[in-house]
Amino acid sequence: MELEDGVVYQEEPGGSGAVMSERVSGLAGSIYREFERLIGRYDEEVVKELMPLVVAVLENLDSVFAQDQEHQVELELLRDDNEQLITQYEREKALRKHAEEKFIEFEDSQEQEKKDLQTRVESLESQTRQLELKAKNYADQISRLEEREAELKKEYNALHQRHTEMIHNYMEHLERTKLHQLSGSDQLESTAHSRIRGRRSMVMRWGERDDVIASELLQDEVESCC
């Protein structure tokens, strides 16, 4: 081992030397000059035992400095990674906050739509109940009207039958009157009977179909008899 020109070298088994760091080399140069001063003042024996220890310390110090530099590089890389992670975290945090706000707005919108739909459903249910009640009332009215119609038909049939009977009785009365007036002549009586039977048969057939026509025929018969 030797100190030369301010640079410390360490002999290795392979015969090659490793250059120490600049900072350690400067420190080794200062120590070397101090050793020269001591040797010049006293003797070489003064620093003979101390020299290997100092060289070992300098080598260890150089190793520590090298490790420290590596750690500094790793620290810088970690700082860069940390800054990137913080930036990414802040960005994702902002995105998450924005997504949460959108989700809250969506929930509020859905809740409002749900309330509106519920109100609409209740309104439609109320209208449905009202329509069902109206339909029931209309059905009851239709049923009553049908019953009334059936009663009116019965009354009409009864009146129609009574009217037909009255016409029949009136025609018989006219026959008897006419026969009484024509009793002096057999031919006239026979003719009158034929005409009355013909008129009577026609009135009976048409009486059930049209009372107005029967009344007109009856009026014609009365006029002819008079």
Is 0.85 surpassed by the pTM of this model?
Answer: no
- Length reported for the chain: 226
Which of 27, 59, 78 marks a domain boundary? 78
126 occurs within a structural domain? no
Last residue of a domain, one of 78, 110, 126: 78
More confident position, 122 or 27: 122
How confident is residue 17, by pLDDT bands cut at 50, 70 and 90?
Answer: very low
CA angle 163, 164, 165 (to 5 degrees): 90
Question: What are the pLDDT digits (tens) for 161-203?
Answer: 999 999 989 898 888 888 888 775 555 545 555 655 655 555 4
More confident residue, 100 or 58: 100
Rg (CA), the chain: 70
Task: Assess if residue 13 is contained within a domain.
Answer: yes
Domain for residue 73, yes or no? yes
Q: pLDDT band for 22, please (50, 70, 90 cuts).
A: confident
By C-alpha distance, which of 165, 201, 163, 194 is closest to 178? 194
Distance (Å, rounded) from C-alpha 63 to C-alpha 18? 11
Domain that holds residue 54: 2-78
